[in-house]
Amino acid sequence: MRRALPALALLVSACTVPGTAVPVGGNLALVDAQRTGAALDAVKAAAEAVFSYDSGSPGAFDQAVAENVTGAAKAQLTALFEQIRTNPQPVHLVTRVREAAALEFTGDRVRELAVLQQESGTSKGLATVAFTAVRDGGRWRLSDIALNPAQPAPPPQPDDGSAGGLRDAALAGARTAAGALFTTDSADPEGSYARAQAVTAGPLADDYRAKKASYVEAIRASATKVALGPDPMAGVVALTGGRAVVLFFTTLQVTDAAGRVTSRPFTTELDVVREGAGWKATGVRPVTTA
């Protein structure tokens, strides 16, 4: 993955973590599909407006912030882009939301996981961001921003057949599958493969069976141990019966043979399907620049 462009690279020091999660039963993400979709569309428009910048028209950025940002996020973005404005080189940064999934929605507050693609000339970069937005003055405004986020999941609703319960069961299943698929140990390649293969179904299971030897050898040859970072984040993009598409983000912790640890942001989409009381992964699509 290419490194994020300056706007988001600088944002790291300005991030804060959103407040406490909504009470159990209060999360309407995907349960109220129409309003959830409208909120995501509004946040998309706001994010694309305030993370794009043209040094030839700085007033447009000020107007975008005034219209689309409130609270702590306003001070963060103002301070961030003041640094970019001092750059003597012309800056023309265009940002678009590639993927987005609602984490929480209460009607007047939404928290989402989003993948932004930034382009400046021939350079492209991706960044995964958690946005919080609130309804303010008749429109949705960004109130908090976290780059490469690691935040606790909202309290899950019971898996009782309700829409919210099905959503949270799919998310729990996707997290479990991701933990098995993306956690490896070169000292135990066979065990790493077996744990991953056990959480797959359909086309992905067929691929694992057909390529077992190459998967095992790749794990052994890596000479690393890979673990998920704390508080991996996941949001359902689409949910139909017992199938879901989940946007998943974590910062992988990669330990090499000398014991050095490197953190690697990792964003992917998981296709998961319900099998009995559990869920298995049928497809994995890492999110890369278009």
Residue-wise pLDDT tens digits, 222-263:
999 999 999 999 999 999 989 999 999 999 999 999 999 999
**What confidence score (pLDDT) does residue 86 get?**
83
**What confidence score (pLDDT) does residue 82 get?**
79
Distance, CA of 95 to chain centre: 16
CATH architecture of the domain covering 6-147: Roll (3.10)
DSSP code for 5: P
Q: In whole angstroms, what is the distance from residue 223 CA to residue 258 CA?
A: 10
96 CB neighbour count, 10 Å cutoff: 15
Q: In whole angstroms, what is the distance from residue 76 CA to residue 129 CA?
A: 14
**What confidence score (pLDDT) does residue 227 get?**
98
**What confidence score (pLDDT) does residue 157 get?**
95
Give the confidence band of 81 by pLDDT, cuts at 50, 70, 90. confident
Write down the H helix ranges in 117-250.
163-181, 189-197, 202-210, 212-222
User: Looking at the domain that runs over 163-286, which CATH code has it been given?
Assistant: 3.10.450.50
Determine which of 72-76, 191-195, 261-265 has the lowest per-residue pLDDT on average: 72-76
CA dihedral sign of residues 287, 216, 251, 131: positive
Looking at the DSSP bridge assignments, the partners of residue 252 are 264
Looking at the DSSP bridge assignments, the partners of residue 136 are 139
Give the confidence band of 270 by pLDDT, cuts at 50, 70, 90. very high
Using alpha carbons, select from 68, 5, 24 the residue that is nearest to residue 165: 24
**What confidence score (pLDDT) does residue 23 get?**
44
Higher pLDDT, 95 or 88: 95
| Mean of the per-residue pLDDT values of the chain | 90
Give the confidence band of 10 by pLDDT, cuts at 50, 70, 90. very low
| Residue ranges of the chain assigned to CATH 3.10.450.230 | 6-147
What percentage of the chain carries pLDDT values higher than 70?
A: 91
Over residues 121-130, mean pLDDT: 93
Using alpha carbons, select from 101, 105, 104, 136 the residue that is nearest to residue 115: 101
Determine which of 14-23, 109-118, 210-219 has the lowest per-residue pLDDT on average: 14-23
Over residues 48-65, mean pLDDT: 92
**What confidence score (pLDDT) does residue 6 get?**
47
Give the confidence band of 4 by pLDDT, cuts at 50, 70, 90. very low
Q: In whole angstroms, what is the distance from residue 133 CA to residue 196 CA?
A: 36
| 192 pLDDT more than 50 | yes
Q: In whole angstroms, what is the distance from residue 229 CA to residue 262 CA?
A: 11
Highest mean pLDDT among 84-93, 137-146, 183-192: 183-192
| Residue ranges of the chain assigned to CATH 3.10.450.50 | 163-286
| 184 pLDDT more than 60 | yes
Over residues 192-196, mean pLDDT: 98
Residues, the chain, total?
Answer: 290
